[in-house]
Copies of this chain bind each other. A is one copy, B any other.
Amino acid sequence: MASSESEAGQGVERRNGPRARAVGIAEVAALAGVSIATVSRALAIPERVTPATRARVLEAVRQTGYTPNVAARSLRARRSMLVLVVVPNIITPFFAELLLGVDQALSAEGYGMLIGNLHDRAEKEQHLVDLVFAGGADGVVLLNGEAPKAPTRSLADSGVPIVAVSSPPPFAAPLVLVRQREAAAAVAEHLLELGHRRLGYVAGPARNYIEHERWVGFTARLAAAGIAATEVTRFSGNFRVEAGIAAGRRFLALAAADRPTAVFAISDEMAVGFMTTVRAAGVRVPDDVSVVGFDGILMADYCQPRLTTIRQPREEMGRAAAELLLRLIAGEPIPPEERVQRLDGVLRLGASSGPAPAGGRR
């Protein structure tokens, strides 16, 4: 096969500096024999020009390949038609579908999606805040409520609409969230029904809103069944696979009699890491220990055994947030009851959870 090398030679080497000259509105106007204002109108408010004029303009546009310059338009109209989406960490599988939902809603309205990845803190965050203050985005979506910080000012003061997803940011903002407590309670319910009484919990980062909500929901339901939160074996974590693996190791280090018979990991990644680790050491899932995750990511369906988890409606969350944001951008007042939108997570049974082992009750 011919090497693809040959396909890679650009015919023309690009010259220094800015773009090749683009056709401007003046060129179109000249060709159509009208003023530039008419061209602008023919394009923006077609009903305000004669059909004949419009036709001439459109034809000229077609011939010249004219596309209105976005910078000029933004400057004039004072809006960028861009939305900044702040992601705590772009490589977490959980966020991809969220972005899909956001993207769908945005592009349906002609908005572009700018990604702000918080991966490496400090200057990056400052930069994102500056961008917004500079008019670089008409609105902001904060995933998992993570708001970029700048030493001197808050995003909230930019005057740009902000919508948060999953957890409240450090300032007031409309919110799309999942009923975390109810979902976590459903996990507890499920495990209790299976007869588990000795439970484990792989946590999220300390002081994390989501972590807190799930813990509260989980333990509240357990309490109702007479199991105190202090009886739950807590493994620290941070949502990532590695944390699940570490939790698995700590589980294995426990005397068999002290091991929980069921473990709720508050992210699928951790659940899978946990499960993989303990299984590798010969612990059977779910016979020896049941495992339940949270999120419903793709991997949950294809690990062994298939993970019991809470499915969060990610695409819908993203879409809801973006739609809310677009209304805000349009200046539409949002009634108070719509400022917080709640969606449900649903328990999806897999094969990783099963009845408590015979000796499971203490």
Residues of A in contact with B (beta carbons under 8 Å apart): 1, 4-5, 7-11, 13-20, 22, 62, 65, 67-72, 74-75, 77-80, 82, 90-93, 96-97, 99-100, 103-104, 107, 110, 112-115, 117, 119-120, 124, 127, 130-131, 133-136, 138, 152-153, 159-161, 168, 172-175, 177, 216, 241, 269, 272-273, 276, 279, 298-299, 301-304, 328, 331, 333, 336, 339-340
Contacts of A152 in B (CB 8 A): 62, 65
Contacts of A299 in B (CB 8 A): 298-299, 302-303
Q: List 14 A-B contacts (CB under 8 A).
A: A5-B340, A15-B331, A17-B331, A69-B75, A70-B131, A70-B134, A70-B135, A71-B80, A71-B135, A90-B100, A100-B119, A112-B114, A112-B131, A299-B303
Query: Could you say which of A20, A70, A127 has the most chain B C-beta atoms within 10 Å of its C-beta?
Result: A70
Contact check, A241 vs B298: say whether CB atoms are below 8 A apart: yes
Given contacts A161-B14, A302-B241, contact A168 B115 (CB under 8 A): no
Contacts of A333 in B (CB 8 A): 13
Contact check, A136 vs B115: say whether CB atoms are below 8 A apart: no
Contact check, A339 vs B9: say whether CB atoms are below 8 A apart: yes
Given contacts A1-B216, A302-B272, contact A133 B8 (CB under 8 A): no
Contacts of A241 in B (CB 8 A): 298, 301-302
| The residue from B124, B134, B273 contacting A107, defined by CB atoms under 8 A apart | B124
Complex: A351 Cα to B350 Cα, angstroms: 23
Nearest chain B residue, comparing its CB with the CB of A181: B1
Nearest chain B residue, comparing its CB with the CB of A112: B114
Contact check, A175 vs B8: say whether CB atoms are below 8 A apart: yes
Complex: A172 Cα to B13 Cα, angstroms: 12
Contact check, A67 vs B133: say whether CB atoms are below 8 A apart: yes
Contact check, A10 vs B273: say whether CB atoms are below 8 A apart: no
Given contacts A7-B172, A340-B8, contact A90 B69 (CB under 8 A): no
Closest chain-B Cβ to A143's Cβ sits at a distance in Å of 14
Complex: A89 Cα to B120 Cα, angstroms: 25
Query: Could you say which of A90, A138, A336 has the most chain B C-beta atoms within 10 Å of its C-beta?
Result: A90
Contact check, B114 vs A82: say whether CB atoms are below 8 A apart: yes
Complex: A144 Cα to B270 Cα, angstroms: 30
Complex: A241 Cα to B136 Cα, angstroms: 38
Nearest chain B residue, comparing its CB with the CB of A245: B302
Complex: A62 Cα to B150 Cα, angstroms: 13
The 7 closest A-B pairs by CB, nearest first: A20-B159, A304-B304, A16-B331, A71-B74, A18-B78, A71-B75, A67-B133
Complex: A117 Cα to B70 Cα, angstroms: 20
Contact check, B103 vs A115: say whether CB atoms are below 8 A apart: yes
Contacts of A1 in B (CB 8 A): 216
Contact check, A8 vs B172: say whether CB atoms are below 8 A apart: yes
Complex: A153 Cα to B117 Cα, angstroms: 32
Contact check, A177 vs B115: say whether CB atoms are below 8 A apart: no
Contacts of A65 in B (CB 8 A): 133, 152-153
Given contacts A114-B113, A119-B100, A298-B241, contact A4 B77 (CB under 8 A): no
Contacts of A80 in B (CB 8 A): 70-71
